[in-house]
Structures are given as C-alpha cells and as structure tokens.
C-alpha cells in the first residue's frame, strides 16, 4: 500500500498590525515624557498618559526651567518667613496663609501638581499672570501673590471658609454663600480649616470668623 505523502500545514499568517497601533508609541511618547517630567521634577503623582491640563503643565515646566538655575546659585527666602510676611502685609488672620501653603504643597517650593499648579502656593499659570507673579516657585513672590488673592476673597465673602473655598475653586464657584460640593473643594476646605485651627491653637490665638 502506497504511503500517502504528508502535506505540510500552510504557514500561519499573523494579522497585520494596524497602522495606528504601530505609530502609537511615537504619538504618545511626548505626552508620556511631559507627564513624567511633571511627576519627577514637581514631586507629584501624574498618570503618564493623562491628556489633561497640557497647556498648564508645559507652562509650569517652562517656569521651572527659568527658576531652577537662579535658585541653585542665589537660593530663596524660607517658606515660613514668606508666609509670615504675607500674612502681615495683607492683614490675614494669623495662621491662615500657613494653613493654605501646608495643604497646597506641604511647603515644597518646587512642587508642580497634576494640573500644572506651581510652587508653595500652587498657583496656576493663569492665576500667576493675573497676580503679576513672574516666578511662582519663588516663595516670597508666590506666597505674597497668594496672600493678596486670599485677602481679596476674604474681603469679598467675609468668611474664612468661603475665602478658602474661593482660593481653591475660584470666586465664581461660590453661590448662596456656601462651599461648593464638587468632591474636591469641600475636602480642601476641611483640611485647611483643620490646619488653621491647629496653628491658631499652637499660637494661643482665637480663630477668625468662619
């Protein structure tokens, strides 16, 4: 009986990889590098492929690049001194600016947030321009501008809680004289008020009107 010739199986053809998938590493590389730079230089947590706040992040890294050489050679004022000076200059309740800086950045001068907020007072690029702050990473300049902004909110709302809420969410978010319930601002206000209460207690000073 003649042995049947064994036929070799046809080669398995792999599905062609879509063009968009082949190009995706190149397309996403700048986005990934931007977010990783913010996370590394700004000491923050940022998802590498986050597509949000790109303009702010680029602006923040640009400000950082301008600030860092000056900082390395000249240094800068201490955060505590800048806070005390800002509270005195803008007639803020003792401990309020300190509490805001503590919650915003933990006093870290070179902090950059996932949204591109900069420096110890965490000023967004647009807010820094509005306040005339040319170097948001310089404690004296940044915290002075933040104190001016916080004082204006306090003068508008006549309430520490609402002024703190406006610092976080913007004055336009304050309606009916209540703290916005957006999942962020109410938690922010709670943290700042707790820090403010602790600082006032340490100093033996009464709390300002809430």
List, by residue number, the catalytic residues: 104
Rg over alpha carbons for the chain, rounded to the nearest Å, is 25
User: Residue 112's beta-bridge partner residues?
Assistant: 118
Please state, in angstroms and rounded to a whole number, the distance separating the CA atoms of residues 125 and 58: 10
Please state, in angstroms and rounded to a whole number, the distance separating the CA atoms of residues 147 and 128: 12
Task: Give 190's contacts (C-beta < 8 A, 6+ positions apart).
Answer: none
User: Residue 118's beta-bridge partner residues?
Assistant: 112, 123
Written as six digits, the tokens of 177 are 């004289």
């Amino acid at each position: 009986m003649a042995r049947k010739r064994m036929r070799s199986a046809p080669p398995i053809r792999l599905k062609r990889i879509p063009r968009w998938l082949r190009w995706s590493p190149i397309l996403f590389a700048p986005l990934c590098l931007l977010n990783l730079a913010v996370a590394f230089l700004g000491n923050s947590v940022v998802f590498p492929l986050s597509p949000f706040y790109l303009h702010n992040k680029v602006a923040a890294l640009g400000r950082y690049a301008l600030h860092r050489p000056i900082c390395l050679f000249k240094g800068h004022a201490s955060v505590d001194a800048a806070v005390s000076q800002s509270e005195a200059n803008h007639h803020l309740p003792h401990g309020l600016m300190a509490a805001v800086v503590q919650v915003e950045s933990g006093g870290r001068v070179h902090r950059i947030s996932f949204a591109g907020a900069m420096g110890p007072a965490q000023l967004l690029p647009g807010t820094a321009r509005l306040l005339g702050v040319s170097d948001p990473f310089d404690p004296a300049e940044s915290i002075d501008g933040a104190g001016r902004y916080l004082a204006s909110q306090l003068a508008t709302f006549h309430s520490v809680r609402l002024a703190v809420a406006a610092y976080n969410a913007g004055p336009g978010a304050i309606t009916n004289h209540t703290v916005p319930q957006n999942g962020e601002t109410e938690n922010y206000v709670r943290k700042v008020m707790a820090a403010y209460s602790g600082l006032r207690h340490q100093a033996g000073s009464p709390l300002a009107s809430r």
